[in-house]
């Protein structure tokens, strides 16, 4: 029998389990997404959802071939950042499994897990990461023993911005994919490139901001511009802001790989912009499959595996969640 690390993700709307074997081969993730009936994600409701789904998902995982054919060597869980009540569900399940199966517990940094699953899946080595998700928007690059935040959103995450815009237009959560569809519709209009609606741009130094463009976009819909045209213009402004900061980070650090991660990295337009920018500077853009861009348990297992390989364990005393954990709080002690 070989060995696997089991990973548990529960930072926000997604409860997910996944496995990675000790050579780095990954399983699919076993996930369930909390979809609020109205409004944004209420942390307590999302946590209740996760509690109600734990045993179903664990059942599925334990029936999988990979689980049956391997020993579970360690349990990894998202220790932060995220919503406290949601994080607590994953941490409690992880502590319980670690105790009852008598295997090490490994608390991991969710943001860094997005990087490591991207490296695992794409083969890039030392990328600048453009991490664009619901709650997080960061440009990250490794220097010495830390993944450093070169720039980040000063207000809301880019995914939350897209979800809010969609919700205000009566579209269901998650709104990002629906906005992408509307934007693609607009690209079928003749001469669409010359019909960009001017919105506040989101770059401030190396940081970004999305609430100004959100408000302006909502006003343009109220003023009578089509939802398709505003969706396209909103994507152009938001994604260009991220790509500009990512490009500057590449110029500063001299790195020649760009890795996209986070749910918004599922979007075909941000991928295209990343590709164009990289091509123009002789660099390469990478992104994992969509199932590994969104939050998933497999990425937690992958970072758990890297830590397990170097003998890292989290003691029960140190296993408290940390909703405010920062990307640059975690020492990179693995290769």
Q: Which positions lie near ligand AMP, rule CB under 6 A?
A: 14, 133-134, 159, 162-163, 174-177, 180, 262-264, 266-267, 294-295
- Separation of alpha carbons 71 and 217, rounded Å: 52
Does 244 help bind Mg ion (rule: CB under 5 A)? no
Residue closer to ligand AMP, measured from CB, 14 or 27: 14
The listed partner (Mg ion, ligand AMP, none) that binds 159, CB under 5 to 8 Å by sort, is ligand AMP
The listed partner (Mg ion, ligand AMP, none) that binds 177, CB under 5 to 8 Å by sort, is ligand AMP
- Separation of alpha carbons 246 and 150, rounded Å: 9
CB of 82 to Mg ion, least distance (A): 8
Phi, psi of 145 (to 5 degrees): -105, 25
CB of 318 to ligand AMP, least distance (A): 26
CB of 23 to Mg ion, least distance (A): 25
Residue closer to ligand AMP, measured from CB, 107 or 288: 288
Residue closer to ligand AMP, measured from CB, 35 or 331: 35
CB of 93 to ligand AMP, least distance (A): 19
CB of 70 to ligand AMP, least distance (A): 27
Residue closer to ligand AMP, measured from CB, 10 or 314: 10
Does 21 help bind Mg ion (rule: CB under 5 A)? no
Residue closer to ligand AMP, measured from CB, 35 or 44: 35
Does 152 help bind Mg ion (rule: CB under 5 A)? no
CB of 194 to Mg ion, least distance (A): 36
Torsion of CA 208, 211, 216, 219, to 10 degrees: 160
* Residues 261-300 close enough to bind Mg ion by CB under 5 A: 295
- Separation of alpha carbons 193 and 282, rounded Å: 26
Angle, CA 45 vertex, CA 42 and CA 49 arms, to 5°: 135
CB of 118 to ligand AMP, least distance (A): 12
> Contact region for Mg ion (CB under 5 A) — 68-76, 133-141, 220-228, 266-274?
133-141
Cα atoms in the 13 Å half-sphere on the side-chain side of 212: 13
- Separation of alpha carbons 231 and 185, rounded Å: 10
Length of the chain counted residue by residue: 335
Task: Name the H helices within the chain.
Answer: 43-63, 65-68, 84-101, 110-122, 158-168, 176-186, 211-222, 227-253, 268-280, 290-293, 297-309
Spell out the SS3 assignment of 165-197. HHHHCCCCCCCHHHHHHHHHHHCCCCCHHHHCC
Residue from 10, 27, 133, 229 that binds Mg ion (CB under 5 A)?
133
Angle, CA 181 vertex, CA 180 and CA 187 arms, to 5°: 90
Q: Residue 8: which of 69, 84, 98, 70 has the closest Cα?
A: 98
- Separation of alpha carbons 167 and 41, rounded Å: 12
Does 116 help bind Mg ion (rule: CB under 5 A)? no
Chain residues that interact with Mg ion, rule: CB under 5 A: 133, 295
């Amino acid at each position: 029998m070989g060995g696997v690390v089991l990973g548990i993700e529960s930072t926000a709307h997604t409860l997910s389990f996944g496995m990675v074997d000790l050579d780095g081969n990954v399983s699919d993730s076993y996930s369930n997404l909390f979809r609020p009936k109205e409004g944004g994600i209420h942390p307590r409701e999302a946590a209740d959802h996760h509690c109600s789904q734990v045993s179903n998902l664990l059942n599925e995982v334990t029936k999988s071939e990979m689980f049956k054919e391997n020993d579970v060597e360690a349990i990894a869980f998202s220790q932060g950042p995220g919503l406290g009540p949601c994080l607590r569900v994953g941490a409690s399940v992880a502590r319980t499994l670690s105790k009852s199966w008598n295997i090490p517990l490994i608390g991991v940094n969710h943001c860094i897990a997005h990087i490591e699953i991207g490296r695992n899946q794409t083969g890039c080595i030392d990328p600048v990461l453009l991490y664009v998700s619901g709650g997080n928007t960061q440009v990250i690059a490794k220097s010495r023993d830390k993944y450093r935040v070169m720039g980040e959103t000063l207000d809301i995450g880019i995914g939350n911005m897209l979800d809010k815009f969609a919700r205000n237009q009566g579209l269901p959560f998650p709104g990002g994919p629906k906005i992408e569809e509307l934007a693609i519709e607009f690209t079928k209009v003749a001469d669409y490139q010359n019909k960009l609606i001017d919105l506040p741009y989101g770059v401030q130094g190396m940081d970004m901001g999305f609430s100004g463009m959100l408000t302006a976009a909502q006003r343009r819909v109220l003023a009578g511009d089509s939802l398709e045209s505003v969706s396209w213009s909103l994507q152009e402004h938001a994604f260009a802001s991220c790509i500009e900061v990512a490009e500057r980070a590449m110029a500063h650090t001299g790195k020649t790989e760009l890795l996209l991660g986070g749910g918004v990295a599922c979007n075909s337009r941000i991928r295209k912009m990343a590709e164009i920018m990289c091509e123009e500077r002789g660099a390469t853009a990478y992104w994992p499959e969509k199932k590994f861009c969104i939050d998933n348990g497999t990425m937690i297992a992958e970072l758990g595996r890297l830590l397990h390989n170097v003998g890292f364990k989290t003691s029960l005393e140190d296993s408290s969640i940390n909703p405010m954990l920062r990307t640059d709080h975690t020492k990179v002690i693995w290769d």
